[in-house]
Chain A
């Protein structure tokens, strides 16, 4: 009986903790976004965060996309050939990439790069009093540090995913033509024939959400880090882990919203 009560209490505590955390993050997000509509604005900082996310993530996102496209082509060919449906390879590649793998894989890559770097940078500023210094220098730290990153995250990720979509399809095309014996034109034809605008748009919406989420998690954990270098390390880990999990969970929710009719 006692064990059961302890067990239930432990569950209750962690659920409460989770709710508290979710509430704190939601409030943080609302405050951050509210600063985007009230001056002063910091275009320079938005630009810097945008370049950091979009431009410097291009290599890793591109490589991920190309290889994913190649693997998809190979896998679906070997799978579909069992029931003579090889011709569907191009469609499978483009649909999987645009709807699912483009945004999710790019999101996970960016979570590792940007979530970590935001958390580390803001966390270091927290533990070295730089965030307090901002307040004493007539600057709201949420507006200066967090809001530009949130906006840049939501804007930069769709751009990255457009690139990932194109490169992913090219990866599939490469394997399709070089190894699987498809004609170049016919592969591209069947890629485009069945593609609907919604496939791409849904992927880009996902990308915007994931980009916002990664920036939010990085900023939140950095902003609330404490306890020196160790605290910043913990904040960095928490940012990457939480944004990765949230990307996968929200991916399901968003897919459900877009395609369950």
Chain B
């Protein structure tokens, strides 16, 4: 957890991807992804369904082994790290999975405080109350903590997943579609929370989203992935009016344009 907020353009990027490639069987998913995420920034990754956004994030987390390319975090090559270094790095990273991936054998409060407990930063006796606090932050009542994840609605599971991801106040946080499945108001609340993580904690946030309003709110920078490559990067505020035909079509959700031509084949 860093408390200082380094200038966006300073030195090495927090995360740097170069030539990232991944093929599943015969399906080429990533075909040379290049991406820089500056420290203390909100990066939004856009792209069609199945374009490899989740695979990109999972590669950075070390959950998927890329076939080629380099991944650097704080200037250090993470693919050549040994297990101990990798685990130390993961201690500083938070992740919200697309399907929340809550542990259904544990009550909600243990899910939320799982990493704090694993790192022995909190005792079990205190964890229940701590979980209540974090749940309040994501707009859930503390009493939800005693339920099992299977008793929650999809949107509630998502928010518990979010609570779990930010519980340790990590340095880098990945959000895989944080607002999908939430009502618009709750979506805005969650966006505010993500912005807070970046602004107040100085965290670096990488979010995947299909929601343009949300992308403009949580992103400083946006990147669009298409056919396994990053085809555009730019300020998130300009989304919908970037001058890049592909991005504008995507942002406005239009049927006609360079991307629909690809889909029709």
Contact = CB atoms under 8 A, between A and B. Distances in A.
Contacts of B151: none
Contact of A135 (B61, B94, B99, B103): B61
Interface string B115-145: 1001100000000000000000000000000
A140 to B, nearest CB: 8
A136 B114 contact: no
Nearest to B119: A138
A130 B62 contact: no
Given A128-B101, A129-B101, A137 B63 contact: no
B63 A138 contact: no
Interface residues of B, number: 23
B114 A130 contact: no
Nearest to B95: A136
B97 interface: yes
Contact of A137 (B99, B105, B118): B118
A189 interface: no
Decide if the interface of chain B is mainly helix, strand, loop or mixed.
loop
Given A137-B164, A138-B87, A138-B91, A132 B97 contact: yes
B93 A136 contact: yes
Given A135-B63, A139-B118, A130 B103 contact: yes
B208 to A, nearest CB: 14
A85 interface: no
A79 to B, nearest CB: 49
Nearest to A45: B105
Interface residues of A, number: 14
Nearest to A136: B95
Nearest to A139: B118
Contacts of B103: 125, 130, 133
14 contacts: A121-B105, A125-B103, A129-B97, A129-B101, A130-B103, A132-B101, A133-B103, A135-B61, A136-B90, A137-B118, A137-B164, A138-B91, A138-B119, A140-B87
A234 to B, nearest CB: 18
Contacts of A125: 103
B227 interface: no
The 5 A-B residue pairs whose C-beta atoms are closest, nearest first, are A129-B101, A133-B101, A136-B95, A137-B115, A138-B118
Interface in A99-146: 121, 125, 128-130, 132-133, 135-140
B216 interface: no
B114 A139 contact: yes
B220 to A, nearest CB: 23
B58 interface: yes
B101 A138 contact: no
Contacts of A133: 95, 97, 101-103
Nearest to B62: A135
A136 B115 CA distance: 9
Nearest to B88: A138
Interface of A: 40, 121, 125, 128-130, 132-133, 135-140
Contact of B114 (A40, A129, A137): A137
A33 to B, nearest CB: 17
Contacts of A129: 97-99, 101
A205 to B, nearest CB: 32
A40 B63 CA distance: 22
A128 B149 CA distance: 13
B164 A128 contact: no
Contacts of B164: 137
Nearest to A125: B103
Contacts of B99: 128-129
A133 B119 CA distance: 15
A188 to B, nearest CB: 45
A132 B98 CA distance: 12
Contacts of A137: 114-115, 118, 164
Nearest to A130: B101
Contacts of B90: 135-136, 138
A13 B89 CA distance: 41
Contact of A132 (B63, B114, B119): B63
B211 to A, nearest CB: 21
A139 B94 CA distance: 13
A121 B103 CA distance: 11
